[in-house]
A and B are shown apart, each in its own frame.
Chain A
C-alpha cells in the first residue's frame, strides 16, 4: 500500500499531503484544503484550474485550454493531470480566489462543502441560458427552405437539440435580422421544461454578453447574485430586506393581507425589490439590462406564490394546499421583473406549503440527497427548516422562528452587511471584543453576531438560563424606561448616533427563535426514533454572512450538542442552489427529483411540539442532559 502513496506539496500554501497515485491534482487540492478555481468541476472544459508543476512527475491529458508558453512554463490543468510521483505545485494567482470577499467566501464554502464527501462531483456546466454564434449560409434556389427552418437547421448543426421552439416575435424578426446581419447571428437558447426555446436572435456576435441572476426570495431578506454565464463567475451580490415586511413580519399575516387586499400588492413589493437589486448590480458592473437573460429563484412556497401572484390563501388552511410547487419557466416580464423582455424566470420546485424551494436548493447545494451517512440540514431563516436524510430517504419539517436571526425585530439588529457586528467575545476579565463585516465602524448586529452575543452573555453570567438580564452582573446593563438592556458599543464608537444594545425583549425573541428551531429538530429526531449521535453531519445554513460560531450556537441550544467537527456552516444555500441550477440543467433536474422524493412532516400534527418548544426555551435547554459538553463547561464556573 505504502508504495502507492505519493507526496503533493503546495508551495504557496505550505501544505503537503499524502495521496494515492493516479488521483487528479484537483482532487488532491480539495483534500489538502487548498482553494483552486474550478467551475466545470473537473470536466476539463472551463480551464480555470491552472497549476504550475515546479518539480515531480505527473501525467497530463492534452488540452486546448493552455497556451503554448504556459505549457513551457509547466502549467497544467489540475483536473486533467494525474499524480504519478511526488510533486511540488504552485497555485498561480489567476487560479486563486478573487473578487469580492463575500463571493469568495461563498465559493470557498461551495468547495469546502464538497471536499469531505466521497465521490462527490460538480455538476456538468450546462447553463439554462446559452448563446451561440452562427454564420448561416444564405439560401439559394437549391436550398430554398424558410428562414425559420433555415435557422433551426443551423442551430441543430451546432447543438444536438431534439425539440426546438420559438415565439412569434422571434419568427417575425427573422427575415430582417438574418439579412441585415449578413447571415451572422447570435441565438439565445433557453431551457423550457423538456424543450429548448430560441428566445432571441441578435445580429452579429454577442456571445460574450450573457448574464443571469440568482435570487433568494426570503421572508425577511432578498439576496440577488449576478452571474456571468460565460465565465460562470458570480460577479457581484446585493441584498435588501423584503419590503413585503410592511404587510406583515411573517408569512401568515401576509397571506391574510393578500386575501383582504389582493395578491398584487405583495407581488409588486417583491418584484420592486428584485428589480432594484438587479438595477444596482448591472449599473455597478456596466452591464446592459438586455443582456440579462434569466432569473432563477429560490424561496419558501409562499414567497414563490407571491412572486408569481398565485392565490396563497389555501397555504394557511387545512389541508394546506399550494397552487403550484413546480412552476414552469415563464417570461420574467410576465410578473414584472425587468431584465431582457424575452428573458426567462425559473422558480426552483417547492416541497409543500410550508417547506419551499429554498430547502430544495439547500439539499441540492449541500449534496445531502446523495450522502451515504445520515445528514442533517438546518436552514435558519424566518422559518427554520430541518432536513434529515441521506441518499436513500429524506424527511423535513419547518418551524416558525420569526425574523430575529435575520436581525429583524431586534433593536440593533441588521442584515449581514458592511458594519454589522458578526463576531463578539467577552473575555474572562470582562473585556468586550468584536469584529464587523468589512471591518467598518459598527452599525448594528447581524445573525451570527446575535448568536455570539447571546452565548457570551450567558457564559459571562450577564443573562441567566431563562435569558433574564441581571442588572447587577455588569456595568453595561442599564435600565431604560423600565426595560433592561446591555450596551455592546457606546454611540461614540459606532457609525450611527445610537448605542448598539441588546434589550431584554430582543433576548426573548432570540430565545423563542432558537427554541422553535431546536424543538423542530427534536421532534424530527423523535419521529424517526433515532438519537443525535446517529447524525453524522450537520450542515448549518442561513444568511449569516461569512461567519458563524458553531460552539456558541451549541451553547445557546440552537443546534444539538454533537462532535464539533460534524457541524459545518454552509452559508446561504438557498442562493447557492439557485446558482447551481442556473449553471447546470442537471442540477435543475435533480432539484425536481429532490422535491418529489422528500417526505414532509407537519409539526402541526405533532401534539407535543409546544411542550418541546417550552422545554427548549431555556439556555441551553431544560433537559440539560441533552447538552453534556456545555453543562460540563458551565459547571467549571460554579
Chain B
C-alpha cells in the first residue's frame, strides 16, 4: 500500500527582512541578519524552503531594572548600569544573535528619561557590539514619539528594527523609518484582524511591506499562549496562501512575559512540589519560546542565558539534519 503524499505547497513565500547594515551598506555592523523567506510552515523542510533559521535577540535596558528577579539579576547586575556593557556581555558570553534595547527608562511613569538619554543609550550599544540592533520604545505612545526620532537618527543607516507601531500610533515611526532606513515592528493586541490592519495603515502611508515584522503580542506558557499561537498560525497560513498583508516575519517577546509570572520566579520554599526555581525559571522561558518557534516566530526576544542556550540547541537540532 502506498502512503499518500500529504505534502502541501504554498503560493506565497514570507517576506525576507534584513536587519543591520555593514560598512559597505552604510552602517557599522559586522554582519546582518536576514529572517523570513520561508515557503512553508515552521520546520517542515520536506515541504518547502526555509532559507533562514529563527534568531534570538537578548534584552538590554537603558537603566538597571528594579523588578527583575534574582535569577536574572545574578547574570546581569554587574553590567546593567551601562547598556553598552550589558549588550557586550550578551553577545560575547551568551551568543545573542541580536540585541534588543528596550528604552524602559523613558517611561513617564517610571524614570522618565529624556530623549537625549535614550539616544545616548542607543549610541552606547552601537559602539559596544557589532551585531544588529532592535530598538524598542517605552510603550507610552506620546513619549515614544519623542524619543524614537532621536534614536532613529542616532542609528541612521544601521537598518535597525524599531518598535512598535500600533493602530493608534504609526505615522511618526513610519516617517522615521523611511527617512533613516530602518525596519518596523507592527504591534497588535492578539487580534488577527488588527495585526493586518496595522500593516495596511503603514503601507497606506508608504512603508514597504518588506520593511515590517509582525508582533501579535506574546503570552507566557500558562497565560493564553494557545490563543496567541492560533493567531500566529492562522496569520502565517494566510500569508503563505497569498495574503500580502500577512506575509511578514513574526516576532515573539518572550522574556518580558515569562519573567513576571509566578511559575517562573517563585522559589521552591514557597511552593513545594514545583521544583527548584533556578532550573524552573529558565526552563519556563525556553519552553515558552519553543512554542513560539513552532507557531512560526522568526525573532525571539529572551532574557535568561540558559534559556537562550537551550533554545539555540533546539533550533540547531531542527534546522540541521544528521
Residues of A within 8 A of B (CB): 464-466, 468, 470, 611, 614-615, 617-618, 622, 624, 638
Q: Compute how far the CA of A194 lies from the CA of B204 in the bound complex, rounded to whole angstroms.
A: 63
- Which residues in A have their C-beta under 8 angstroms from that of B315? none
| Minimum C-beta distance from B65 to chain A (A) | 32
Q: Find out whether the CB atom of A465 lies under 8 angstroms from the CB atom of B201.
A: yes
Known: A466-B167, A638-B206. A624 touches B193 (CB 8 A): no
Q: Find out whether the CB atom of B191 lies under 8 angstroms from the CB atom of A614.
A: yes
| Minimum C-beta distance from B292 to chain A (A) | 22
Q: Find out whether the CB atom of B193 lies under 8 angstroms from the CB atom of A465.
A: no
Q: Compute how far the CA of A430 lies from the CA of B146 in the bound complex, rounded to whole angstroms.
A: 31
Contact of B196 among A464, A470, A622, A638 (CB under 8 A): A622
Q: Find out whether the CB atom of B200 lies under 8 angstroms from the CB atom of A465.
A: yes
Q: Find out whether the CB atom of B168 lies under 8 angstroms from the CB atom of A622.
A: no
- Which residues in A have their C-beta under 8 angstroms from that of B192? 611, 614
Residue in chain A with minimal CB distance to B168: A468
The answer to whether B197 has its CB under 8 Å from any CB of chain A is: yes
Q: Find out whether the CB atom of A618 lies under 8 angstroms from the CB atom of B168.
A: no
Q: A466-B201, A614-B192, A614-B194 are known; give 17 further A-B pairs, CB within 8 A.
A: A464-B204, A465-B200, A465-B201, A465-B204, A466-B167, A466-B197, A468-B168, A611-B192, A611-B193, A614-B191, A614-B193, A618-B193, A622-B193, A622-B200, A624-B200, A638-B204, A638-B206
Q: Find out whether the CB atom of A617 lies under 8 angstroms from the CB atom of B193.
A: yes
| Minimum C-beta distance from B202 to chain A (A) | 10
Considering the complex of A and B, which 5 residue pairs feature the smallest CB-CB distances, nearest first? A614-B193, A615-B193, A622-B193, A618-B197, A622-B196
Q: Compute how far the CA of A10 lies from the CA of B200 in the bound complex, rounded to whole angstroms.
A: 52
- Which residues in B have their C-beta under 8 angstroms from that of A611? 192-193
Q: Compute how far the CA of A618 lies from the CA of B201 in the bound complex, rounded to whole angstroms.
A: 10
Residue in chain B with minimal CB distance to A468: B168
Interface of A is mostly: loop
Interface string of B181-212 (1 = CB under 8 A from A): 00000000001111011001100101000000
Q: Compute how far the CA of A280 lies from the CA of B127 in the bound complex, rounded to whole angstroms.
A: 81
- Which residues in A have their C-beta under 8 angstroms from that of B167? 466, 468
- Which residues in B have their C-beta under 8 angstroms from that of A624? 200, 245
| Minimum C-beta distance from B204 to chain A (A) | 6
- Which residues in B have their C-beta under 8 angstroms from that of A614? 191-194
Residue in chain A with minimal CB distance to B196: A622
Q: Compute how far the CA of A611 lies from the CA of B200 in the bound complex, rounded to whole angstroms.
A: 18
- Which residues in A have their C-beta under 8 angstroms from that of B168? 468
Q: Compute how far the CA of A614 lies from the CA of B197 in the bound complex, rounded to whole angstroms.
A: 10
29 contacting pairs across A/B (C-beta < 8 A): A464-B201, A464-B204, A465-B197, A465-B200, A465-B201, A465-B204, A466-B167, A466-B197, A466-B201, A468-B167, A468-B168, A470-B171, A611-B192, A611-B193, A614-B191, A614-B192, A614-B193, A615-B193, A617-B193, A618-B193, A618-B197, A618-B200, A622-B193, A622-B196, A622-B197, A622-B200, A624-B200, A624-B245, A638-B204
Which residues B161-176 have CB closer than 8 A to chain A?
167-168, 171
Residue in chain B with minimal CB distance to A466: B167
Q: Compute how far the CA of A560 lies from the CA of B191 in the bound complex, rounded to whole angstroms.
A: 23
| Minimum C-beta distance from A463 to chain B (A) | 11
* Residue among B168, B171, B193, B206 facing the most chain A CB atoms (10 A cut-off): B193
Which residues B229-279 have CB closer than 8 A to chain A?
245
Q: Compute how far the CA of A465 lies from the CA of B204 in the bound complex, rounded to whole angstroms.
A: 9
- Which residues in B have their C-beta under 8 angstroms from that of A464? 201, 204
| Minimum C-beta distance from B307 to chain A (A) | 34
* Residue among B194, B197, B204, B206 facing the most chain A CB atoms (10 A cut-off): B197
Residues of B within 8 A of A (CB): 167-168, 171, 191-194, 196-197, 200-201, 204, 206, 245
- Which residues in A have their C-beta under 8 angstroms from that of B200? 465, 618, 622, 624
| Minimum C-beta distance from A361 to chain B (A) | 35
Residue in chain A with minimal CB distance to B205: A464
- Which residues in B have their C-beta under 8 angstroms from that of A622? 193, 196-197, 200
- Which residues in B have their C-beta under 8 angstroms from that of A615? 193
- Which residues in A have their C-beta under 8 angstroms from that of B191? 614
Q: Compute how far the CA of A501 lies from the CA of B168 in the bound complex, rounded to whole angstroms.
A: 21
| Minimum C-beta distance from B168 to chain A (A) | 7
Residue in chain A with minimal CB distance to B194: A614
- Which residues in A have their C-beta under 8 angstroms from that of B171? 470
Q: Compute how far the CA of A470 lies from the CA of B172 in the bound complex, rounded to whole angstroms.
A: 12
Q: Compute how far the CA of A555 lies from the CA of B236 in the bound complex, rounded to whole angstroms.
A: 28
Q: Compute how far the CA of A622 lies from the CA of B198 in the bound complex, rounded to whole angstroms.
A: 10
- Which residues in A have their C-beta under 8 angstroms from that of B196? 622
Q: Compute how far the CA of A466 lies from the CA of B204 in the bound complex, rounded to whole angstroms.
A: 11
| Minimum C-beta distance from A105 to chain B (A) | 38
| Minimum C-beta distance from A17 to chain B (A) | 46
| Minimum C-beta distance from A638 to chain B (A) | 7
- Which residues in A have their C-beta under 8 angstroms from that of B204? 464-465, 638
Q: Compute how far the CA of A622 lies from the CA of B206 in the bound complex, rounded to whole angstroms.
A: 18
Residue in chain B with minimal CB distance to A464: B201
| Minimum C-beta distance from A484 to chain B (A) | 12
Q: Compute how far the CA of A442 lies from the CA of B280 in the bound complex, rounded to whole angstroms.
A: 68
Q: Compute how far the CA of A255 lies from the CA of B320 in the bound complex, rounded to whole angstroms.
A: 64
Q: Compute how far the CA of A470 lies from the CA of B193 in the bound complex, rounded to whole angstroms.
A: 22
Q: Compute how far the CA of A470 lies from the CA of B175 in the bound complex, rounded to whole angstroms.
A: 15
Residue in chain B with minimal CB distance to A616: B193
Residue in chain A with minimal CB distance to B169: A468
Residue in chain A with minimal CB distance to B242: A625
Residue in chain B with minimal CB distance to A617: B193
- Which residues in B have their C-beta under 8 angstroms from that of A638? 204, 206
- Which residues in A have their C-beta under 8 angstroms from that of B193? 611, 614-615, 617-618, 622
Residue in chain B with minimal CB distance to A467: B167
Q: Compute how far the CA of A622 lies from the CA of B243 in the bound complex, rounded to whole angstroms.
A: 11
- Which residues in B have their C-beta under 8 angstroms from that of A470? 171
- Which residues in B have their C-beta under 8 angstroms from that of A465? 197, 200-201, 204
Residue in chain A with minimal CB distance to B245: A624
| Minimum C-beta distance from B158 to chain A (A) | 28
Q: Compute how far the CA of A618 lies from the CA of B200 in the bound complex, rounded to whole angstroms.
A: 10
Q: Compute how far the CA of A611 lies from the CA of B204 in the bound complex, rounded to whole angstroms.
A: 23
Q: Compute how far the CA of A617 lies from the CA of B191 in the bound complex, rounded to whole angstroms.
A: 12
Q: Compute how far the CA of A618 lies from the CA of B196 in the bound complex, rounded to whole angstroms.
A: 10
Q: Compute how far the CA of A464 lies from the CA of B170 in the bound complex, rounded to whole angstroms.
A: 11
Q: Compute how far the CA of A618 lies from the CA of B197 in the bound complex, rounded to whole angstroms.
A: 7
Residue in chain B with minimal CB distance to A624: B200
Q: Compute how far the CA of A618 lies from the CA of B245 in the bound complex, rounded to whole angstroms.
A: 14
Q: Compute how far the CA of A611 lies from the CA of B167 in the bound complex, rounded to whole angstroms.
A: 17
Q: Compute how far the CA of A210 lies from the CA of B317 in the bound complex, rounded to whole angstroms.
A: 89
- Which residues in A have their C-beta under 8 angstroms from that of B194? 614
| Minimum C-beta distance from B38 to chain A (A) | 23
- Which residues in A have their C-beta under 8 angstroms from that of B197? 465-466, 618, 622
- Which residues in A have their C-beta under 8 angstroms from that of B201? 464-466
- Which residues in A have their C-beta under 8 angstroms from that of B245? 624
- Which residues in B have their C-beta under 8 angstroms from that of A466? 167, 197, 201
| Minimum C-beta distance from B195 to chain A (A) | 9
Residue in chain A with minimal CB distance to B167: A466
| Minimum C-beta distance from B294 to chain A (A) | 23
- Which residues in A have their C-beta under 8 angstroms from that of B206? 638
Q: Compute how far the CA of A269 lies from the CA of B79 in the bound complex, rounded to whole angstroms.
A: 72
Q: Compute how far the CA of A615 lies from the CA of B167 in the bound complex, rounded to whole angstroms.
A: 14
| Minimum C-beta distance from A621 to chain B (A) | 10
Residue in chain B with minimal CB distance to A471: B171
Q: Compute how far the CA of A624 lies from the CA of B197 in the bound complex, rounded to whole angstroms.
A: 10
Q: Compute how far the CA of A301 lies from the CA of B193 in the bound complex, rounded to whole angstroms.
A: 33
| Minimum C-beta distance from A616 to chain B (A) | 9
Q: Compute how far the CA of A484 lies from the CA of B167 in the bound complex, rounded to whole angstroms.
A: 16
* Residue among A466, A611, A638 facing the most chain B CB atoms (10 A cut-off): A466
Residue in chain A with minimal CB distance to B244: A624
| Minimum C-beta distance from B165 to chain A (A) | 12
- Which residues in B have their C-beta under 8 angstroms from that of A618? 193, 197, 200
Residue in chain B with minimal CB distance to A472: B171
Q: Compute how far the CA of A624 lies from the CA of B243 in the bound complex, rounded to whole angstroms.
A: 10
Residue in chain A with minimal CB distance to B171: A470
| Minimum C-beta distance from A571 to chain B (A) | 33
Residue in chain B with minimal CB distance to A612: B193
Residue in chain A with minimal CB distance to B238: A623
